[in-house]
Amino acid sequence: MAFNAVRIAYNQTQGLSKLQSVNKLLQVFGSCATRRVTLIRLFLQPQLHKLLALMAEPEHVSVTVQVGEKRGCPEEEGKDTPSKKPKVEKDHKNGDPPVKVDEEEEGPDGEAVDGEEEGETFADMMKHGLTELDVGILRYVSDHEGFSGILKERYSDFVVHEINRQGKIVHLDDLSVPAEAEEAPEPEPKPEDCDVLTEEQKKKLGELQLFKNKEDEVSIEVMEDTKEKRTLLHKAIKTQFPGIETKTEEKEGRKFIVAYHAAGKKALAAPRKHFWPKNRGSFCHFVLYKENKDTMDAINVLSKFLRLRPNMFSYMGTKDKRAVTVQEIAVLKITAERLSHLNKCLMNLKLGNFCYKNHPLKLGELQGNHFTIVIRNISGTDEQVEQAMTSIKATGFINYYGMQRFGTTAVPTQQVGKAILRNDWNQVVDLILKPRPGAEKEFLVRCREEWAKSQDPEAALKKLPNKRCVEGQLLRGLSMYGKKNIVTAFGMLPRNNRLMYVHSYQSVVWNTMVSRRIDAFGLKAVEGDLVLKGTTAHVLSAEEAETTSIHDTVMPLPGFDVIYPTHHGYRELLTADGLDIDNMRHKVKDYSLAGAYRRIIIRPTDVSWEVIQYDDPRISLVHSDFEKLENKPAPVYNKEGKHRALRMEFSLPPSTYATMAIREVLKVDTSIKKQTQLNTTWFN
């Protein structure tokens, strides 16, 4: 069946340029990400083209579809179209700075859309990527036998619910707008307050308020020049004519109250536009339900609809893109009613559970995340699954930083981070801008080639259609500040992106040192290990180690404000990288690393699992919050189904990677490079 789809694609792409061919492939192969990667990979096999040329049909088969239309493979004609299926994309939640521009320009699943040599397969494109070995992810906790399975075949297979500050799992279960609390009535103005203005003065002030007055201000002479009289006039004008400001001026020995618009005509065209009841909290808190969308992308969408700056929103953490996620968001002085109206026009986003509070949300305030994950097409027996899940519930997994922390390109983010910490700014520029092997967009290839040839930032910048990628921002900085002021030029990148590089280096050091520690001492506390007492690290004595669990031990991320285990090899590792462990402060304050402590082993809570069987791979196997609100039935599992899946639930603390828990269950390398190789081997 897959071969038929490839044959149709071959017929349709004859005579087209490579870029046109890829666009046609996206149409023919549809929006199913997993199937699309497989079919494009098959299409790129050069040995297949000879056979296809012999079998070429005399007429093109008509399979024209509109861009963005949901489309299955040709053999699925007539069947119901599956729910919207996005392209696979690496997760930026905790990791690498994105080097992409707008999503619409992204090739499917990260493969280059132009500029690759004929016949290069997706596996060839990814051969320069990282594996777990490259970032220090080496060991497992348990010795059970692993098994294979497909993670995130559909984005609805990965569901994340935030656990808020109170320890409650956040759900979207109410779309209603809260009733407004009764506001205390404003005190009625005293009769004498109203009488201080004449009818003619009120008329002029009214015209000024509505911008009907040709003058920019109205002057009222104070006949009885006393402070009490002037105060009454100021109060009466401001009370009766919102949006008007007053001041006292002296002209030719006489005093006047001058009324005027403080912020000008544009800002006060609607005087009560920014009215906010005093008894209402300044921040509207709500639950954001999103499908297949990054947290920042979702906030940018809300910002555009509400005409706000994105920094008006606050949240406790970012969530995966390729997933269904539920989290709390807060926004300053936007009513629940306005937010609720957005539900009529938003795609893959829903807002609800509105309430008003007097505080925003802060990063890191959450207690963790609750995951519901489906791994499809598992090969393990029920006994293997039981053994794996029992182990992770009882013992846990090594708390490695996941692969998304380090990027998927030929130049890992930790290398850039190491160059920053070494103050080697020429290497920072070189690593980001030099030509690199692997899959990239054609315009990035041209940009890198121009930089390598001319070292001219303006010339290289002209090769980029969109300047918002990391390369574009760095080149713009070099163009503005010159190549001798790289630190300032690098500062053109958003602060979070810049810090991701150095945090990535810290993470690979932590991963490496934890693997070495487990190799040396196993999964038990030993003399010289660290534990936290409050927020302070304490070095264990031999006697203390006897009564301490491995689950309580921590390892430090390198920095100037941490201590190290007495048995550590941090100094040797950092020295080999050209860094001084005793001097982790940087000339640029942003890159001075204080360090932190991280638990070696994490034991998930609220763990449950079941092996389910199903027939239709297109149906969702998790009942989402939105489906419950829509009163849609829960998925029904067929006990005699031809496919098997593992459905698991667990909760993890913040900054812990669910993919590392899944790695422990399946015993597989979670890197894109390795998964691609495994999929290619299976396909062949």
Which residues form the catalytic set?
320
Residue 261 pairs in a beta bridge with 244
Contacts 24+ apart (CB under 8 A), 186-189: 189/236, 189/239
Beta strand segments in 523-629, E: 530-533, 536-539, 553-557, 596-599, 601-602, 605-614
CA–CA distances in Å: residue 262 to residues 208, 266, 625: 12, 11, 47
The letter for the amino acid at 527 is E
Confirm if 259 and 245 have CB atoms less than 8 A apart: yes
∠ CA(452), CA(454), CA(456), 5° rounding? 105
Give 273-333 as a 3 state SS string: CCCCCCCCCCEEEEEEEEECCCHHHHHHHHHHHHCCCHHHEEECCCCCCCCEEEEEEEEEC
| Cα–Cα dist 667/378, whole Å | 13
| Cα–Cα dist 207/199, whole Å | 12
> What does 108-157 look like in DSSP terms, one character per residue?
GGG--SSSPPTT--HHHHGGGS--GGGGT----S--PPP---EE-SSGGG
Longest dimension (CA), the chain: 105
Residue 328 pairs in a beta bridge with 287
The number of angstroms, rounded, from the C-alpha of 308 to the middle of its chain's C-alpha atoms is 19
- CA nearest to 412, candidates 672, 681, 662: 672
Confirm if 683 and 657 have CB atoms less than 8 A apart: no
The single-letter DSSP state of residue 667 is: T
**N- to C-terminal Cα separation, the chain:** 15
- CA nearest to 415, candidates 478, 511, 509: 509
Phi then psi dihedrals of residue 35, to 5 deg: -65, -40
| Cα–Cα dist 314/319, whole Å | 14
CA–CA distances in Å: residue 315 to residues 75, 284, 681: 44, 12, 42
Residue 118 is encoded by which pair of tokens? Answer: 């004929």
Residue 649 pairs in a beta bridge with 372, 608
Confirm if 330 and 361 have CB atoms less than 8 A apart: yes
Say how many C-beta atoms besides its own lie within 10 A of residue 642's C-beta: 10
| Cα–Cα dist 647/634, whole Å | 14
- CA nearest to 489, candidates 515, 516, 458: 458
Confirm if 183 and 277 have CB atoms less than 8 A apart: yes
Q: Identify the H or E element spanning 337.
A: helix 336-341
Handedness of CA 342, 344, 345, 350 (dihedral sign): positive
